[in-house]
A = this chain, B = another copy of it.
Amino acid sequence: MPRLTDARKELRRAQITEAAVRCFSRNGLERTSIADITAESGLSTGSIYAHYRNKADLVQASAHAVLAKRAEALGEYAGSDTPPDPDELLDRLIAGIDPVEARVGVQTWGEATNNPVIHGIVVDTIDRMRAMVHDSVTAWLVKVEHLEPAEAQERATPIAHRVQSLYLAQLLYTALQSPTEETAP
């Protein structure tokens, strides 16, 4: 039964979501039509529908890809064995922000206020990020500040909250900075 090999199939899916993310970044989740993605990806309508059930499905996959990538980058810093202090952690997080992803990320927040599926993805991602920041801060408190693990855990909570918040705000600022590039009217 000759279908595409899994690797190739995944490749196509990635090709599509990547094109979609570029479109979304330019025109927004709703204002991007399937035709836009068709043009951007070089594929055709039929091809896209062969890989994604419908547009909502594609939006969901794209959102997941963008947010997961961000969370993943965060995981690296958090897992380091010489944990950065909170300010340093925040600086690194901010340094890793990519404007295109920031824009889609912020659009995703807006979408999450009405779209249950996207809402789930966003909330999960934010929770996972918070947990990782919390771990990183705890590790710092233990290894560098020499607190007892129990107390470190507790003290880490408000610090993690602050780091997370400042990071999210910076994501917003970044998204608002890059000028709105129009496709030809």
Contacts and interface: CB of A to CB of B under 8 A. Distances in A.
Interface of A: 25-31, 103, 106-116, 119, 122-123, 126, 162, 164-166, 168-170, 172, 175-176, 180
A185 to B, nearest CB: 12
Secondary structure of the A contact surface, majority rule: helix
Contacts of A119: 176, 180
A47 to B, nearest CB: 26
Nearest to A108: B110
Oligomer: number of copies: 2
Nearest to A112: B176
Contacts of A106: 109-110, 113
A30 B27 CA distance: 12
Nearest to A122: B176
A74 to B, nearest CB: 16
Given A119-B176, A176-B122, A180-B119, A28 B113 contact: yes
B110 A28 contact: yes
24 contacts: A26-B114, A28-B30, A28-B110, A28-B111, A28-B114, A31-B114, A106-B110, A106-B113, A107-B110, A107-B113, A109-B110, A109-B172, A109-B175, A109-B176, A113-B176, A116-B180, A119-B180, A122-B176, A162-B166, A164-B169, A165-B169, A166-B169, A168-B169, A168-B172
